[in-house]
A and B are shown apart, each in its own frame.
Chain A
Amino acid sequence: MLTNKNLFFLIIQAQIGIGILGLPYILYNHVQQDGWMSLLIAGVLAQGIIIVLVALSRTSPKETFYELNLRLLGNVLGKIVNISYVLYFISFSLLLMILVTDVINTWILHQTPRWAIILMLLIATSYIAKERILTISRSFLFFSFWFIVLIFLLILVYPQDIHFGRLQPVGSNSFTEIIKASPDAFVSLIGFELILFIMPFIKNPKKSLMVLSIANLFTLMLYIFLFITCVISFSGVQLSLIQAPLLYLFRGLSFEFVERIDIIFLSFWIVPISTTLVIQLFNASLGVQKLFSIQRKKSVYLLSFILLCLGLLPINLTMTESLSSIMIYLNIIFVFIFPALLLIIAKLKGIKG
């Protein structure tokens, strides 16, 4: 059974991934140096959603979300919802894979074909995703070592040429604009919906809300720290140009015995990125297991195969961009609106029953 520690690392690994590379760029383009406020708002929003999700999963802690759907919505409607959730996870994973291969292709391996990277990624992630959730969480704990490395490297940026004044003027954007930018920040905080699917495996469900909040806080703090570091070390126009500011920060960093930290960092940052994919695969495979009643291991393989085939499709820049803008809304629907509706249904049924 998952202890609080296990749950914490599961959630932060599910949250932090590819999004962190481009987050400061996206936020800066919307609201300039006030991006940290949008982050805070997104964090508060995420916290609210966490409360909803936990409340929902507590209505029947012995069921996964898919089982809950079937029970509350009936067989037909429940199945449709379950299928759409599986599709959501598949498209999320697909977007993730495309973004990863794009970043790798621009920064490190320029000629390596997309399928090779995707194949490698899927072999590694399905190897992890087919394990029990406890094993997954325990290996995530080891992978969390990279967060310490990240924080350490970010601190190393500070002795470089930075200027704190770039954070000023505070609040130059209107409040509505800051709120408008928060969905973009929210995408990077996604991942806590995992709680819906792992509630039956948690040893201490009562503490889950607290653990999730701490995990969310950790992620939020890391993002804000990153955003501030980026703003103070890049000048305005520069930050609005660089698509992966986190990597560019490290590109300028060099030491006596090693140069080009960005290459090393990105290569190994693949691990936290893959963990997000592992979680998506895990969520989807639970659904496939429920829908077609096959072994979870096999459903992971099936999903990986589907993803590999999808990854082989020729996807260009505009398609990626439209997919990511659609995903922003899908995220809110699937992570927030639908669970909230379900919670209301569950409460109504609870009152009737």
Chain B
Amino acid sequence: MKNTNQKIITLLFIFPLLTGCWDQKLIVDQEVINGVSFDLEDNKIKSTIVVLNIIPKGTNFFDFKNQMSSATGYSLEDTYRELRTYYTGPLTASKSRIILLGESFAKKNLNAYLDFFYRVPDPYLGSKVAIVKGVEASELLSTKEIGTNPVAFGLYEIIEAAEDNSTVTKGTLNTLFTYFNEEGKDFLLPILEKKGEDILVSGAGLISDNAYSGQMISLKECSLLLLIMDNYGELVDLETYLNDKKKLNNQVSYRIIKSKRKFNLTKDAAGKPRVDINLDLKIFLHQYPITEKISPKQIKELEETISRDLTKKSQSIMKKTQKANSDVLGIGRELKETDPAAWKALDWGQTYPEIKINTRVKVAIEKTGILK
């Protein structure tokens, strides 16, 4: 009995000591950043953030308003300090959906600039990163909504849809951190463009050595690049002109059912790396210019046409990446892993544009849709 009383008294003494609630961040007080954009302005960084405010209108009804503000400074933290003064509560990036980079900003060494997001535990690493082409990144954020979604969520979903449609590789702030620090592997970032009032993903920007190279792969070629990278989304649709005679309604389009990539890294006579990529595609036709029966012979011809077309296209895509010096395939990484001595001897930044990348695509039509 005495023992219990003692315990209770000790507890009573201890608990008032503990009622600090030092780190309390009540949900009500938090001002949550939904979208961030960075631009370069007169050699200064211009950060813009969007905070979504919810305005309750009676039970079960509410309206939302985006509060947008920007600040300029020499570092991210510099601008962040100013931004904080605009808001009523503590700002948190724990719910940021999207990070937009202005074209000029993206050409800087992104790893060094974005360090802030990785060093503290608060920011959300699942947010999507995109490069804005044509306009300032902050301009995209000033749109109120995309569809019915507030702007940041709308952009997030646009990019997610682009990933599913194999326009760009799946990626978040977290995967960027991985690739920033990976030797011999570059990556793609979605490019956003404004067309009138609409915002669209217009292609994939080639990143070279953690900075935007300024070159991009257009929307139509993206899917093929992703196939070559063996890192495609849920849907891969491609199309090929039946012949060069006319453009209007002369395309056969098809969906990839299965893709098999053979990646072969060898050395040529001069000791330089040489890459052979063989792509085996199983496809399913879903558009044919003429509504008629396709005979087995035609299918054979079609397969050849498509194979030839895709091989040609893939060659030119690889040329583009070499021109941009963006090793998106991770050939350097492969070399480093399989032949570390050779990797050490090479300056990859110099070597990559010059190596020979040989691609060959082979297509087999599996289905012709509901119609024969």
CB within 8 Å of B: which residues of A?
A: 106-113, 116, 119-120, 123, 161, 163, 165-166, 168-169, 172, 233-238, 241, 251-252, 254, 259-260, 262-263
Contact = CB atoms under 8 A, between A and B. Distances in A.
Given A165-B333, A252-B126, A260-B94, A112 B181 contact: no
Contact of B181 (A165, A236, A262): A236
B114 to A, nearest CB: 13
B22 A116 contact: yes
B324 to A, nearest CB: 21
B20 A116 contact: yes
A254 B174 CA distance: 11
B126 A259 contact: yes
10 contacts: A107-B121, A112-B20, A116-B22, A123-B14, A161-B178, A169-B337, A235-B179, A238-B182, A260-B124, A262-B121
B134 interface: no
B215 interface: no
B41 interface: no
A141 to B, nearest CB: 26
A250 to B, nearest CB: 11
B125 interface: yes
Given A166-B337, A169-B338, A254-B126, A109 B179 contact: no
Contacts of A168: 337-338
B195 to A, nearest CB: 30
A106 B18 contact: no
Given A237-B181, A251-B174, A259-B124, A119 B337 contact: no
Interface of B: 14, 17-18, 20, 22-23, 94, 121, 124-126, 170-172, 174-175, 177-183, 185, 330, 333-334, 337-338, 340
B170 A161 contact: yes
A165 B14 CA distance: 53
Contacts of B171: 161
A172 B340 contact: yes
A251 B22 contact: no
A285 to B, nearest CB: 19
Contact of A109 (B14, B22, B124): B22
Contacts of A259: 124, 126
A113 B20 CA distance: 9
B121 A119 contact: no
- Give the 3 A-B CB pairs with smallest separation, nearest first: A235-B182, A237-B181, A252-B174
B337 A111 contact: no
B109 to A, nearest CB: 14
Contact of B23 (A111, A163, A235): A111
A194 B182 CA distance: 42
Contacts of A165: 333-334, 337
A106 B23 CA distance: 12
Contacts of A161: 170-171, 175, 178
B121 A251 contact: yes
A308 to B, nearest CB: 11
B181 A238 contact: yes
A315 to B, nearest CB: 19
Given A109-B22, A168-B338, A238-B181, 8 more contacts: A110-B23, A119-B18, A161-B170, A233-B178, A235-B180, A235-B182, A252-B126, A259-B126
Contacts of A262: 121
A172 to B, nearest CB: 6
A71 B174 CA distance: 59
B20 A237 contact: no
B178 A234 contact: yes
A236 B177 contact: no
Nearest to A238: B181
B172 A169 contact: no
A233 B172 CA distance: 14
Nearest to B169: A161
A252 B183 CA distance: 21
A120 to B, nearest CB: 7
Contacts of B333: 163, 165
A251 B121 CA distance: 9
Contacts of B175: 161, 252
A236 B124 CA distance: 22
Nearest to A168: B337
B343 to A, nearest CB: 10
Nearest to A172: B340
Contacts of A241: 181
A260 B94 CA distance: 9
B174 A236 contact: no
A237 B340 contact: no
Contacts of A233: 178
Nearest to A105: B23
A203 B20 CA distance: 46
Contacts of A238: 177-178, 180-182
B22 A119 contact: no
Contacts of B337: 165-166, 168-169
A252 B125 contact: yes
A172 B340 CA distance: 9
A140 to B, nearest CB: 24
A233 B175 CA distance: 9
B116 to A, nearest CB: 14
Contacts of A251: 121, 125, 174
A34 to B, nearest CB: 12
A235 B178 CA distance: 5
Nearest to A240: B181
A166 B182 CA distance: 10
B19 to A, nearest CB: 10
A169 B337 CA distance: 5
Contacts of B172: 252
B181 A235 contact: yes
B23 A112 contact: yes
B199 to A, nearest CB: 24
Nearest to B337: A168
Contacts of B340: 169, 172
Nearest to A263: B121
Contact of B18 (A116, A163, A234, A237): A116
Nearest to B24: A111
A246 to B, nearest CB: 14
A83 B102 CA distance: 65
Most buried by B among A108, A123, A161: A161
Contacts of A235: 178-183, 185
